[in-house]
Structure 1
Amino acid sequence: MLRVALTGPESTGKTTLSRQLAEYYHTTWAPEYAREYLEKHGSAYTIDDLERIARGQVEAEEKAAAGANRVFFCDTDLLVIKVWSEHAFGQCPEWVKHRIQQQHYDLVLLLGIDIPWEADPLREHPHHRQYFYTIYHTELSSQMSNFAEISGSPAQRLEQACFYVDALLAEKSRAVPPPDALSA
C-alpha cells in the first residue's frame, strides 16, 4: 500500500487536493484530524491537545489505509503538528518527533502558497505562509524525504500531483514481478 501525504502551510489546498486525488484514484483519504478536534473542543489549544491531535491523525491514516486501493492520501501529516507545536509552544511532544522518524510516506506533496488565503476561524497565520513553507521545505529536505513541490491553479495542482503519483505507481508495479514469473 502506497502512502502519500500532503503537507504545507495553512490554506494551501491540502484538503481539496486530497479529496480530488482519492476520487481520481478510486481510493481513500485521511482527513485532517485537527479540524475535527478543534471544531469539537474549541480553537484554544494546548500542547497536550496537539499530541491528542497527532494521535488522532495517525488513527485516521490507519483507517484510510484499511480501505485503500493501492494508494491512499493523507490530508496533512505529523510534520504539520511538529511545526505547529514548535511555533506555538517552542517545543514538540517527544512522541510526535519519535513517530515522525518511524512513519514512512512513499511520497510527500508540499503544497505551495501561490493560491489565495481563505479565511477560516481555525486558521491563524495568513501573513506567515512563506515562513512556514520554508520550514516545511527544510524539514523534508533534511529528512531526505521523497517529496515534490506542487503549485499553480487547482487544475495544475491536480495534474502535477497525478504525475508524481502515477510515477510512483509505475515504479511500484515494476518492482513487483509478474505473477507467472513467481511460478517459474
Structure 2
Amino acid sequence: MKENIIKKIAVVGPESTGKSTISAQLADHYNTVWVPEYAREYCAALTEPCTWQDEINMFRGQLELEKQILPQANHVLICDTTFITVKIWSDHVFGETPQEVLDELLRHPYDLYLLMDIDLPWQDDPLRDFPHMREYFMDVWHKELKALDADYHLISGSDEERLKNAIDKIDNALFRFSQ
C-alpha cells in the first residue's frame, strides 16, 4: 500500500513561526504535495468563538484532508501542522482534549516532526490569538512531542537557514529510513 512507503513529515509549532511557508518550500524541494492547515480555513469561516465541537470538527477535517492528499505524495508528504494542535488549543481554551483526539494520537504518528522556533518576528493575522504567549506554547509543543516520543528537531534561523536546516533533517531521516 502506498501509505506505507510515504514518509510523513509534520511541520509544527506555535503561531507565526513560518509553518505554511516552509511547508510549501519543502513540498517544492521534494517535488511532492503538502497538506495545508485545515483549521485555518475553518476558523476563517467562524462567526462565533470556537467551540468544543469546532475543535472536533477541525480534528476530523485535518485527518480527512491528509487522507485525501496522501495518494498524490511523491515519497514524502509534508503536513503543515497536525491535529496535535487541536489537543494543544483544547487544553488551553477548554482545559481538556476531546477523547477521540487523545485516542488517535498514538495511532496516527508522523515519521519526523520539524518544530518551528519562535525566533521569527510575529506576523499579525486575524486568526492568530496569542502573540504574548509564544514561549509558553513553545514549551507546550516540546512537552507534547516528548510525550509522544516523537522524532523531532527544532528548526531555527532566518527563512533561508530554516529551509536548509529542515532539508538537512529530512534528508538525514530519509537516509535512516532507507537503511
Q: TM-score range by the shorter chain?
A: over 0.9
The alignment's C-alpha RMSD in Å is 1.0
State the match for 1:70 in structure 2: 75
| 1:141 shift after superposition | 1.3
| 1:43 shift after superposition | 6.0
Deviations 1:86-107 (A, max 9, x none): 1011111001111112111000
| 1:57 shift after superposition | 0.5
Deviations 1:142-182 (A, max 9, x none): 221100010110111100100011112222233xxxxxxxx
Q: Equivalent of 2:29, from 18, 24, 27?
A: 24
Q: TM-score, normalised by structure 2?
A: 0.94
State the match for 2:170 in structure 1: 165
Deviations 1:63-86 (A, max 9, x none): 221100000111011111100111
Q: Distance in 2 between matches of 1:62 and 1:117?
A: 31
| 1:42 shift after superposition | 3.3
Q: Equivalent of 1:97, from 89, 98, 102?
A: 102
How many residue pairs are counted as aligned between the two chains? Answer: 174
Q: Is the 8 A contact 1:30 1:63 kept in 2?
A: no
* 1:138-157 aligned within 5 A: 138-157=143-162
Consecutive aligned runs of 4 or more in structure 1 exceeding 3 Å deviation: none
Q: Distance in 1 between matches of 2:50 and 2:148?
A: 28
Per the alignment, in what secondary structure is the counterpart of residue 73 of structure 1? Answer: strand
Bigger Rg, which one: 1
Per the alignment, in what secondary structure is the counterpart of residue 124 of structure 1? Answer: coil
State the match for 2:3 in structure 1: none
Q: Is the 8 A contact 1:35 1:122 kept in 2?
A: yes
State the match for 1:6 in structure 2: 11
Gaps of 5+ in 1: 175-184
| Equivalent residue letter for 2:145 | L
Gaps of 5+ in 2: 1-5
State the match for 2:124 in structure 1: 119
State the match for 2:43 in structure 1: 38
